[in-house]
Amino acid sequence: MATEQKSPPVQPAHPNDFARGLAGVVAGRTAISSLDGDLRYRGYSIESLASGGDFEEVAFLLLHGELPSQAEHAAFSKRVHASAGSGLPVATMETASSGMHAVIDALRGLAESCPKASPMDALRTGVSMLGQVELDHIPGTREALLAQGERLIGQVPALLAAWMDLSAGRSIDPWPDGSIAKALLQRLTGRTPSAAHVAAFGTTLVLYAEHEFNASTFAARTVVSTGSDMHSGITAAIGALKGPLHGGANEQVLEQLCAIGSADRAEAWVTEQLAAKRVVMGFGHRVYKDGDVRAKLLGKMCRDMVRGTAAESLEDLADRVEQIMLDRKGLKPNLDWPAARIYHALGLPVRVFTPIFVVARMSGWTAHIIEQIGDNRLIRPMSIYCGSPSRDYSGLAHRE
C-alpha cells in the first residue's frame, strides 16, 4: 500500500536568514515564460514575437501553449472580439442579460458619484462583478478556464473604454472592428489610428503580456492556490499592479519627464532626486541587471515613431536622463520608460497607461492561473518573528 508523502520538518530559521521581498527565491515552476538570459514566451524569444506577432497571436500562445494556425487565430480573434463587443459575459445563462446590465449600471453609478476615480479601481471592481455575474465560485475544467480566460482578454479592454466614456459623462460607444490594439486605441483616443500607430501600440501589448513570477502574477497564483476562482485571482492581480513599484510606474515616468521639462534641466533634476533618496521611475529591474530587453526594443521604436515631430524633444530629454542614470547609478531603463513615451506620442491620457498594462497582462495572468490550478499546492511561505519576546498576559483589571 502506498504511503502518504509528507513534507520534511521545518527547521528553525536564523534571524537573518531570509530574502527581503523574496529576492532570488525560486517559488515554483512555470512553462509559460522564462527570464534565463533573455525573455521568452513558451520558448519563443520576445524579439521575434514583438516584431512578427500581434497581440491575439501572443495571447493564444500564452493561454494554449502553442502558436495558432491561421484558422485558430481567426477563430480566437473572433471569440475575443465578441467578448469585447459586449464587454460582459457571453450569454450562457438565463440571467446573463440582466447581469450585463447590472455591471454597466454599477459602473455608471460609480462614474456619476466618483468621476475622478482611478480607472484601475474601475477595472478591479468590474472584474469582480464579472465573476459574480458568471457565478464563478470555484475553478472549473481546463476547457472552462480557457474559455473564461479568452472572455476576460476581450472584456477588460472594453470595460476600460466604457469607464473612460462614463467617467467623462459620455454615452458608451460601440466596440470598433479590428484587433484589440486597433479597437482599444481608437476607443481611447476617439480617432481612427494609422497602421503605424496600431503596430506600435500592439507591440507594447505584446511586451507587457507576460513576465514570469512578478508581483501581480504571484498574487494571482497565491489566491487561486487556495482553491479560489479565476476572477478573484485577477482582481487581486489588478490590485497588485496598481502600485507604483509595479505597474503604476509607467504613469509616473511621464509625470517625471514633464516635471523636468527639457534636456538642459535633466542634470539638476536627477541630482535633486538622488540627493533626496527618491526613486527615479523607469530605471532598474529586480531581475534584469544588464538592462531590460523589452526597453531596448521599445526605445528604438519610440525614437523612430516620433522622428520629425514635436515629440522628438521629449526623446532628447529621455536620452539625457538615461545617460545620467547610467553614469550616476549604473541603472538602465526598464519597459515602463519607453512605454510611457509611446503612449504619450499616441495621444493617450496618462490615467490609462497602467490600465493598458492590465489589458496586456490579462493574457499572462489567466495563463498562470490555469497553470497553478492544473498542478496546485497551497502557497504558504513562512516568516521570521522579530517582535517582543515571550511575556505573560495580565487581565485588563490589573493593567493601569
**CA-closest candidate to residue 123, choices 249, 244, 240:** 240
Q: Which residue numbers are catalytic?
A: 246, 285, 336
Amino acid occupying residue 57: E
Please indicate, yes or no, if residue 41 is contained in any of the structural domains: no
Please indicate, yes or no, if residue 111 is contained in any of the structural domains: yes
Give how many domains the chain has, as a whole number. Answer: 1
Q: What is the CATH number of the domain that holds 82?
A: 1.10.580.10
Q: How confident is the model at residue 8 (pLDDT cuts 50, 70, 90)?
A: low
Residues spanned by the domain of 87 = 46-192+225-242+352-374
Residues in the chain: 400
**CA-closest candidate to residue 159, choices 179, 180, 134:** 180
Residue 246 CA to residue 295 CA, distance in Å, equals 15
Residue 215 CA to residue 192 CA, distance in Å, equals 35
The pLDDT score that the predictor gives to residue 22 is: 80
The rounded radius of gyration (Å) of the Cα atoms in the chain is: 23
Predicted confidence (pLDDT) per residue in 79-98, tens digit:
999 988 765 544 443 444 45
Predicted confidence (pLDDT) per residue in 41-74, tens digit:
999 999 999 999 899 999 999 999 999 999 999 9
Can you give the pTM of this predicted structure? Answer: 0.89
Please indicate, yes or no, if residue 184 is contained in any of the structural domains: yes
Residue 142 CA to residue 79 CA, distance in Å, equals 17
Please indicate, yes or no, if residue 158 is contained in any of the structural domains: yes
- Residue 362 has which C-alpha cell? 490579462
Please indicate, yes or no, if residue 100 is contained in any of the structural domains: yes
